[in-house]
Amino acid sequence: MAVAGEIFADRYRLIGLLGDGGFGEVWRAYDGNRNYEVALKLIRNHDRGATWTEASILTALRSEHILEINNADVAVDVPYIDTALAECSLDALAMPLGAEPGLAVDWVRRALRGLDLCHKRGLIHRDVKPQNIFLTASGSAKLGDLGIAALMDAAGTADPHGDMRIRAPELYTGGRASIQSDVYSMACTLYGLVAGRLPYESGDPVSAIVAGTHTPVRDLAPHVSQVLADRIRTGMSLDPADRFLSAAAFDNELALPERSRQFTPVAPHGGHARCWTVTGRGTDTQVCVMHSTRAHRFTVETRYRHSRNRLTRHCFETTGRQLPTKLRAVFNALRRATS
């Protein structure tokens, strides 16, 4: 492991560790050649022979939807990538509550455009996840961390790689990474951004991924529309042929208009289990889930704040088993109220 203060590749002074994972370390570093700070990824367990070819492709990737790659090379047998610094990655914004669905869709659509460019240049990302999509100071989401991206072979595939939680099921049953496996990972990413957790998080996810057994996104995020849930389900189809054929096709499907209200998960109020704010159409609303005085039951309260600060409350009680269904009905009713 590198240490702060170390000079790497005769030009980068390592300032502080930004992240450390199975595929490498990411450092805030000062580039002495250009006199500014960058994010420097030092890559472990990478095919050194392929790095030279990939470096020229990575540094040629110029897009408003890809985190700028300044340099990619090998020093002391350690492949590295030098990229622009970002404000944060999307997991820091969306976990554990989830992001407002419209905002999450906007982030993912921008990242899909970056991913589509990678595919057109013959690269498979292989590690699309919230941690590898970055937000700039201007608020734009950009696809980044191409440290384990791989060149497609003649069949348009590459060796399996990447975070186990977002690998497509075929990669666990002898299949190879492809455009469709990147699409699957992006659908998992969108699930995670709206639900506040990835579809496969705990323990060994392999058997669940292969079987496709995960909690439906609207059980975890009942404020998500059925249309968006269907797009996520298509992207996560077990059969690659049933997914979107390309990142651009996924982007186009997400362009379908949603209702005008915004459903934003917020930190629960004191004593509440889950809370949302709902804005749009001139009325601010809160939906709150509270533990009932009766065991294994919940109270759902919808608070409508009208003009002149008048407040109306509607409450009902439900069981834990029925809670997701009841909440979906509440949010569907709020959507219909915008028509």
Domain membership of residue 206 as a residue range = 88-253
Is 1 within a domain? Answer: no
The whole-angstrom separation of Cα 123 and Cα 205 is 26
| Cβ neighbour number for residue 154 with a 10 Å cutoff | 5
pLDDT tens sequence across 132-172: 999 988 889 999 988 788 999 999 999 999 999 999 999 99
Say if 201 falls within a structural domain.
Answer: yes
Alpha helices in the chain (DSSP H): 48-60, 90-94, 101-120, 179-195, 206-211, 217-220, 226-235, 247-253, 323-336
Query: Same domain, yes or no, for 107 and 242?
Result: yes
Residue 60 is predicted with a pLDDT of 79
List pLDDT tens digits, range 258-288. Answer: 666 899 999 999 989 999 999 876 668 999 9
Q: What is the DSSP letter of 66?
A: B
CA pair distance 100, 79, nearest whole angstrom: 37
* pLDDT at residue 49 greater than cutoff 70: no
CA angle 220, 225, 226 (to 5 degrees): 95
Which of 253, 277, 302 represents a domain boundary (last residue)? 253
How far is C-alpha 158 from the geometric centre of its chain's CA atoms? 22
Confirm whether 249 is domain-assigned.
yes
CA distances from 247 to 53, 148, 179, 260, 312 (A): 24, 19, 8, 26, 44
Q: Does residue 2 belong to any structural domain of this protein?
A: no
- Asked whether residue 126 is domain-assigned, the answer is yes
Residue 237 shares a structural domain with residue 108:
yes
Q: Give the total number of structural domains in the chain.
A: 3
Domain termination residue (choose one: 55, 83, 111): 83
- What percent of the chain has pLDDT above 70? 92
Tokens 């560790």 found at: 17
Predicted pLDDT of residue 107: 97
CATH number of the domain within which 104 lies: 1.10.510.10
**131, 227: one domain:** yes
Whether 114 and 247 map to the same domain: the answer is yes
Which of these three, 83, 104, 133, is where a domain ends?
83
Q: What is the pLDDT of residue 282?
A: 64
Task: Give the pLDDT confidence score for residue 339 in this predicted structure.
Answer: 52
This model's pTM is above 0.85: yes
Same domain for 65 and 109, yes or no, is no
